[in-house]
């Protein structure tokens, strides 16, 4: 089944870029910011080469870069656990009449989880919880409203991403990175 997106939704998607590195400019070299920005522009996690370059330019970041690598490498498992948490807490959500039906809706939700984890991994790699764009979050809120995304299920999934990530790296103190995103999304109406 193919779902056509309205022009309004397409426009909101392009504006709902939730990551911003502008507040990092006083702490990081432009070369480092460029690496983060390129990864975000391409909608991907930081590569091993990206992480090595950042580490060589900012040696004090090496421990968090390894955590970011781990989040990237374990993303399929972490997202799967978050998905299972949503399906357990919201039985029937992917069935006819459920908020994530038809399948294209649920697949979009799981894809968003992958991207949320990607965005959090940038914050972890940069050791900064201020990785969100206020305007991008605003447009994401409008997008979610337009698409009637079940916010309670998305927040449940974010908590699932946080719990799954934290249990894999308990000493890394990952909760603040997730809490920033969860807090901002909790304010969506």
The binding site consists of: 109
DSSP labels for 89-105?
HSTTTTSTTSTT-SHHH
Tell me the CA distances in angstroms from 140 to 12, 109, 136, 150, one per residue in order. 7, 13, 6, 13
- For residue 17, the Cα-to-chain-centroid distance in whole angstroms is 11
Q: Which fold has domain 7-186?
A: Globin-like (1.10.490)
The pTM for the full model equals 0.95
The binding site for (2R,3E)-phycocyanobilin consists of: 109
Tell me the CA distances in angstroms from 91 to 57, 82, 84, 94, 183, one per residue in order. 47, 14, 10, 8, 25
Q: What is the pLDDT of residue 170?
A: 85
Q: What is the mean pLDDT of residues 105-109?
A: 95
5 falls in which pLDDT band (50, 70, 90)?
A: confident
Q: What is the mean pLDDT of residues 6-23?
A: 96
Digit-coded pLDDT (tens) for 74-87? 999 999 999 999 99
Taking Cα atoms as reference points, which of 131, 157, 99 lies closest to residue 18? 131
Q: How big is the chain by its Cα radius of gyration, in Å?
A: 17
Digit-coded pLDDT (tens) for 34-64? 999 999 999 999 999 999 999 999 998 888 9
Digit-coded pLDDT (tens) for 140-151? 999 999 999 999
Domain ranges in the chain are 7-186
Whether 2 shows a pLDDT value over 60: the answer reads: no
Taking Cα atoms as reference points, which of 88, 25, 66, 35 lies closest to residue 171? 66
Q: Give the list of residues 6+ apart from residue 15 with CB closer than 8 angstroms, or none.
A: 135, 136, 139
Residue 106 phi, psi dihedral angles, 5° rounding:
-70, -40
């Amino acid at each position: 089944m193919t779902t056509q997106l309205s022009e309004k939704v397409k426009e909101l998607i392009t504006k709902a870029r939730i990551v911003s590195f502008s507040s990092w400019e006083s702490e990081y070299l432009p070369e480092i910011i460029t690496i983060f920005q390129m990864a975000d522009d391409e909608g991907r996690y930081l590569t091993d080469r990206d992480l090595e370059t950042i580490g060589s330019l900012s040696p004090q970041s090496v421990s968090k870069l390894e955590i970011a690598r781990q989040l990237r490498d374990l993303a399929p498992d972490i997202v799967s656990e978050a998905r299972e948490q949503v399906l357990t807490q919201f039985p029937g959500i992917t069935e006819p009449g459920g908020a994530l039906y038809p399948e294209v809706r649920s697949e979009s939700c799981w894809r968003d989880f992958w991207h949320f984890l990607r965005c959090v991994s940038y914050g972890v790699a940069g050791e900064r919880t201020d990785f969100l764009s206020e305007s991008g979050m605003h447009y994401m809120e409008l997008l979610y409203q337009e698409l009637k995304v079940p916010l309670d299920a998305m927040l449940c999934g974010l908590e699932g991403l946080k719990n799954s990530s934290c249990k894999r790296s308990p000493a890394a103190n990952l909760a603040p990175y997730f809490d920033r995103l969860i807090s901002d999304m909790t304010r969506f109406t």
